[in-house]
Copies of this chain bind each other. A is one copy, B any other.
Amino acid sequence: MTISGVWAPALTPFDATLEADLPRWIAHCRFLLEDGCSGLAIFGTTSEANSLSVGERERMLEALLAAGVDPLRLLPGTGCAALPDTVRLTRLAVRAGCAGVLVLPPFFYKNLSDEALFQSYAAVIDRVSDPRLRVFLYHIPQFSGVPIPLRVIERLRTSYGQIVAGIKDSSGDWNNTRTVLEAVPDFQVFVGSERFLLQNLRRGGAGCITATANLNARAIDALYQRWNSPQAQSLQDALDVVRGIFDALPIIPALKRALALARNDPGWLPLRPPLLPLDGAQEAKLLSALSAQGWVQAAARNVASTPA
């Protein structure tokens, strides 16, 4: 089994006391699965997963499954700084039947050798010890501080075959993505921004796992569906305009602000420290850019046309 398409690292809403707001989160997850997302990379960077305890992530995943969401449409982020935490979350996801897990390298110690990084992933795989496990490596060095070099990917594939199923490349470095696509056969390569979606699909990539799918999934999926059509480049260009709005701002607060606007729901505004809401100037910049694109209105229409 392989996965592909547009996956959203679903935003995590917090209530006024900064506790995870499960009903609002579950409703958002359901909305995204109706709105063009092939699946949900819950507990991604955009989800503020690293601001959630392991116990919180466990309770959230269990609640989402209890609400009837298909585990085959879930790719939970399970990579923590501490090995036992990563093992615990990964085991839960595998036993729940999730499509796979997105696994950050342990991200506190820096300048890891290839051997250390290999052994870190190997320890997780060996301890979970389940043939159903599908690990997607999470390459996001600008946050983790721990890049995942091609040599380590190749060694993991040699040792574990299809259990090491793919990668999310959030480096923003297309040369790195292309190198992996060319070097690792049958590897499910997701880009971390829809900016690279068309290039990725043309080279045999699987799709994208992208923050803006929280708001713009239908349009991103339209490119995924028609990447081999004459309209592909113009669809890509339109996506880049929306993405550009968010890339020019702190992206997670900006997405939460835009979602609050599109849903007319201030329940999306809170973030957990160290992330903070947009300041006044950032908010003005966001609203101006969204209005200029007529995009707020379109988002509002999408919400209105979706069954509750």
The answer to the question of A225 belonging to the interface, with a C-beta cut-off of 8 Å to chain B, is no
Q: Chain B residues near A202 (CB, 8 Å)?
A: none
Number of A residues with CB within 8 Å of any CB on chain B: 40
Partner of A81, one of B50, B113, B146: B50
Interface residue SS majority, chain A: loop
Partner of A143, one of B84, B108, B119: B108
Scoring A88, A112, A274 by chain B CB atoms within 10 A of each residue's CB, the highest score goes to A274
The answer to the question of A275 belonging to the interface, with a C-beta cut-off of 8 Å to chain B, is yes
A149-B297 Cα distance, complex, nearest whole Å: 42
Copy total for this chain? 2
Q: Chain B residues near A113 (CB, 8 Å)?
A: 276
A83-B273 Cα distance, complex, nearest whole Å: 7
The answer to the question of A2 belonging to the interface, with a C-beta cut-off of 8 Å to chain B, is no
Q: Give the shortest distance, in Å, between A89 (CB) and chain B (any CB).
A: 11
Q: Give the shortest distance, in Å, between A280 (CB) and chain B (any CB).
A: 13
Partner of A109, one of B54, B110, B117, B143: B143
Given contacts A108-B107, A110-B143, A143-B108, contact A273 B50 (CB under 8 A): no
The answer to the question of A116 belonging to the interface, with a C-beta cut-off of 8 Å to chain B, is yes
Q: When the two chains form their complex, are residues A51 and B82 in contact, meaning their CB atoms are under 8 A apart? A: yes
Q: When the two chains form their complex, are residues B120 and A274 in contact, meaning their CB atoms are under 8 A apart? A: yes
Scoring A83, A109, A273 by chain B CB atoms within 10 A of each residue's CB, the highest score goes to A273
Q: Which of chain A's residues 241-287 have a Cβ closer than 8 Å to chain B?
A: 272-276
A71-B282 Cα distance, complex, nearest whole Å: 46
Closest 4 CB pairs of A and B: A50-B108, A120-B273, A120-B274, A116-B274
Pairs across A and B, CB under 8 Å, 30 listed: A18-B123, A50-B82, A50-B106, A50-B108, A51-B81, A51-B83, A51-B108, A52-B82, A52-B84, A53-B54, A53-B82, A53-B85, A53-B88, A56-B82, A56-B84, A80-B81, A83-B273, A105-B274, A106-B274, A107-B107, A107-B108, A110-B145, A115-B276, A116-B273, A116-B274, A117-B274, A119-B273, A119-B276, A122-B273, A145-B145
